[in-house]
Chains A and B, each alone.
Chain A
Amino acid sequence: MKKVMFLSVIAAVIVLTGCATKQPVISQVGTTKPVTVPATNNNQPTSSENVSGIGASGVSSSSQSSVQPSNQSNALSQMQQLQKKLKSIYFDFNKYNIRSNMTNTLQQDIQTLKASDSNYTVKLEGNCDDRGSNEYNFALGLRRANTVKKSLVNAGISASHITMISYGKTKPVCMQQTPECWQRNRRVDFKLLP
C-alpha cells in the first residue's frame, strides 16, 4: 500500500491558563513527536472492543480477497481495457433516478460487464456537484450508486460482485461554477477490481 497517511500530533494546541494571575501564560500542550499511520485495506477495527461494536451493528465485514492486486499483468491489462469501455452515468441536480437519456448508456455498460469475466468486482463510485452540504452529498452520491447497482442486479449481475462508495463532492472532474461543470460531477463511475 503506497498511500500513507501522515498524522501529525499537534505541536501547538493552545490553552490559556492562569487568568487570575497578573501574568497569564499561554502554554503548549501535547506531544511534538509525529505519528505515521499507514492506510491499509484492512478496515476491521484493530482493538477487540471495536470488533464487538461492528458485530453488534450487523455491519458486515468486507471480503479482502476481492481487492488483492493481481500478479497476472495480462489479466490486469484486460481489466483496464474493459474499464475504459464503461461509461459514467450522469444525473440531474439533487436526483438519483436514471434519467431517460442515460438508459442506453447504462444498458451498454451492463452488456459490457455481462460479456466480461464475471470474477471482476465492480466498484460503483457516486459523485455530486459542489452544491449542498458535504454529508448530504455523500448520501446523494451513494443513492446514485445504489440506483446503478439495482439496475446491474436486475440485469443478472451478482450483487456479491458489486461494491459501492460515495465520494460526495470530494472527487470532482472540474471545479468551475458552471452548469456544464456541475453536470459532469453528478455521476456514477465504474471501477473494476480484480
Chain B
Amino acid sequence: MKHILIIFLFMSSLLYGADNTINVVKNVATLPTIAIEDASTDFSTALQDRFFKAIKSDLNVLSIFNVDSSHYKVTFSNDTVLPEEKNNDYILRYRLVSGESKTLTVDVKLFKKSQLVMQKSYKINNSKLYIFISHAIAYDVNKYMGAAPVEWMKKKVIFSRLLSSGQSEIVISDYTMSYQYVIVKGGLNIFPIWANQDQTSFYFTSLNGAKPMLEKVNISTGKVTKILSSDGMIACSDVSQDGKHILVTMAPHGQPDIYLYDISSKKLTRLTHFSGIDVDGQFFGNDSIVFVSDRLGYPTVFSKTIGSNAVSQLVFEGHHNTSCAVSGHYIVYESRETNNAFSVNTYNLHLMSTQTDYIRRLTAVGVNILPRFSQDGNTILFIKKYKGQSAVGVIRLNYNKDYLFPLKHENIQGLDW
C-alpha cells in the first residue's frame, strides 16, 4: 500500500511539473551552494569586477545553485580551498589572462568539495566581449550538473530602440543586453525579428521611404533584400520554424490584417478579414495562428485555423491585451487589467496553456512588455519598466524564478530572441 502511495505521489508531481502554468511556490529540495574565486592578475580591476558580476549573474540565472555573492581572490594554481568557502558544495575558480591584440583568455576550474571536476579555457579576440565567455562558462557548468539545457543563454537578442522622436536603431546583444552592437542606424527602423534559427539574418521594417518596407539583412554578407511594402504599415510578426514562411501585418488598403507570406514562391495569402485591428500573428501548431484583435471592442488574443473563417477567443481576462508570444501550447501575453485611460499604467505578463484552464501571472508590478519565449519554451525574456527605470527580465518557468538586468534609459520598441 505504501509503495502504491509513493508511486501515486511521484506520478502526480511529474504531471504538475510538466505544466508551466502551475506556479511552484515552495521547493523542498535544497540547492547546492557554489562560491566564485577570482584568480585574475591581468586586466584592470574594473574589468575583473565586471566579469565577476557577470559570472555571478549567469550562475544565478541557471537557478540550480545558491550562489555565494562574495568576491574571493585566490591563486589559480592553489589546490586548497579557502577556509570560509569550505561549506560550499562547489567552487568555480577562474582567471582572466590577456593575450596579444586585446585577446582575452579565461581559464576555469570547477571543484566539487575540493575535488577538481571540470577544467577548461575560453578565448575571445576582444576583451569587450567578455560577457559571452561568462555565458559559455555558465552553459558548461549547467551541462556538467546535468540540468535542463540552457541553449538560450548562447542565443542573441535583436531589438529596436527609440533614440528620439522618429529616430531609432536596431541592436544585437546577448540575453542580458550587457553587450550591444548597433547594426542598423539612421532614420526609423523597427520590428526586428530573426529570419532563421541560426540567427544569421533578420527582417525589419524601414520607415525611411514613401512606404513602409519590410527588408531582410544577411548578417554574414551584409546583403539587404527588400521583401514587401505596404501603405500605412508593415511588420513581420513571426517566422516559421523552418524559416520558409512569415506572418506579416500589413495594410495595402488601409486595413491592418495578417498575411501569410511564402518566402520561396512569393505568394501572399490574407488570413484575417476583420474591419478593425488584427495584428501580431504567431504560428500556432501546424495549421493555426494566434493573434491580437480588437473585434470585441478591446484588444485581446484569438486563434484561428488557416483557411477557416472562424476565430476562437483564447484570453478572456484583461481589457487591453496587445501582445503575445507562442511556444508549443503555451501562450504568454501582456495584459492591462483595466481599459480606463487614466488608471495606473500597469501591464503584467500572464502564461496560459491551451490544454488547461490555468493562467499563471508572471509579473506583479510595473509595465512588463515584449515577452519572448526561449526556443525550448521554458524561459521567457521581457522588458520591465518600473519607477522610471527599465530592465531586461528573465523568467525561468520551471524554477519559478525571475531575474532583472538593469538597462540605461532604453526605450525598446521591439525585441526577438
Which residues of A are at the interface with B, using a C-beta cutoff of 8 A? 3-16, 19, 22-31, 33, 35, 37, 39-47, 49-50, 52-54, 56-60, 62, 64, 67, 92-94, 131-143, 145-146, 149, 163-173, 177, 179, 182
A64 touches B210 (CB 8 A): yes
Query: Size of chain B's interface in residues, with CB distance under 8 A?
Result: 95
A residues within 8 A CB of B174?
A: 14
Check if B125 is an interface residue, CB within 8 A of chain A: yes
Stretch at the interface among B17-25, B53-61, B254-262: B254-262
* Interface residue from A53, A133, A164, A167 paired with B280 (Cβ < 8 Å): A133
A134 touches B341 (CB 8 A): no
B217 touches A7 (CB 8 A): yes
The 9 closest A-B pairs by CB, nearest first: A53-B266, A93-B341, A133-B323, A39-B208, A57-B268, A139-B256, A136-B322, A9-B222, A132-B322
A53 touches B261 (CB 8 A): yes
A177 touches B224 (CB 8 A): no
B249 touches A5 (CB 8 A): no
* Interface residue from A9, A47, A168 paired with B225 (Cβ < 8 Å): A47
Which residues of B are at the interface with A, using a C-beta cutoff of 8 A? 119-126, 129, 132-133, 136, 139-140, 154, 156, 162, 165-166, 168, 172, 174, 179, 181-191, 199, 206-213, 217, 219-222, 224-233, 235, 237, 249-252, 254-256, 259, 261, 266-268, 276-280, 292, 294, 298-299, 320, 322-323, 334, 336, 339, 341-342, 345, 347, 369-370, 413-414
- Measured in the bound complex, the distance between the Cα atoms of B120 and A16 in whole Å is 13
Could you show 8 A-B contacts with beta carbons less than 8 Å apart? A8-B184, A12-B181, A14-B124, A24-B121, A53-B268, A56-B267, A94-B320, A133-B280
* Interface residue from A11, A41, A93, A179 paired with B181 (Cβ < 8 Å): A11
**A105: min CB distance to chain B, Å:** 20
B221 touches A31 (CB 8 A): yes
Q: What is the predominant secondary structure among interface residues of chain A facing chain B?
A: mixed
* Interface residue from B119, B206, B219 paired with A13 (Cβ < 8 Å): B219
Q: In the complex where A134-B190, A170-B413 touch, is A94 in contact with B299 (Cβ < 8 A)?
A: yes
A residues within 8 A CB of B277?
A: 136, 139-140, 143
A42 touches B209 (CB 8 A): yes
- Measured in the bound complex, the distance between the Cα atoms of B189 and A179 in whole Å is 27
B229 touches A35 (CB 8 A): no
A residues within 8 A CB of B133?
A: 26
- Measured in the bound complex, the distance between the Cα atoms of B219 and A157 in whole Å is 46
B413 touches A5 (CB 8 A): no
B210 touches A67 (CB 8 A): yes
Q: Nearest CB to that of B139 among chain A residues? A: A16
A residues within 8 A CB of B370?
A: 133
* Interface residue from A10, A33, A37, A59 paired with B219 (Cβ < 8 Å): A10
A16 touches B136 (CB 8 A): yes
- Measured in the bound complex, the distance between the Cα atoms of B225 and A7 in whole Å is 13
A24 touches B120 (CB 8 A): yes
B residues within 8 A CB of A8?
A: 182-185
A residues within 8 A CB of B224?
A: 7, 35, 37
- Measured in the bound complex, the distance between the Cα atoms of B233 and A4 in whole Å is 21
A172 touches B165 (CB 8 A): yes
Q: A43-B229, A168-B190 are in contact. List 18 more A-B contacts (CB 8 A).
A: A6-B186, A10-B219, A16-B136, A19-B140, A31-B220, A41-B210, A42-B209, A44-B229, A45-B225, A47-B225, A49-B266, A56-B268, A60-B231, A135-B280, A146-B255, A164-B232, A165-B207, A165-B211
- Measured in the bound complex, the distance between the Cα atoms of B206 and A4 in whole Å is 12
B184 touches A5 (CB 8 A): yes
A170 touches B280 (CB 8 A): no
* Interface residue from A132, A133, A142, A179 paired with B256 (Cβ < 8 Å): A142
A residues within 8 A CB of B123?
A: 23-26
**A11: min CB distance to chain B, Å:** 7
Q: Which of B174, B211, B334 is most buried by chain A, counting CB atoms within 10 A of its CB? A: B211
- Measured in the bound complex, the distance between the Cα atoms of B263 and A47 in whole Å is 13
B233 touches A142 (CB 8 A): yes
A residues within 8 A CB of B124?
A: 14, 26
B121 touches A57 (CB 8 A): no
Q: Nearest CB to that of A11 among chain B residues? A: B181
- Measured in the bound complex, the distance between the Cα atoms of B266 and A28 in whole Å is 33
B188 touches A139 (CB 8 A): no
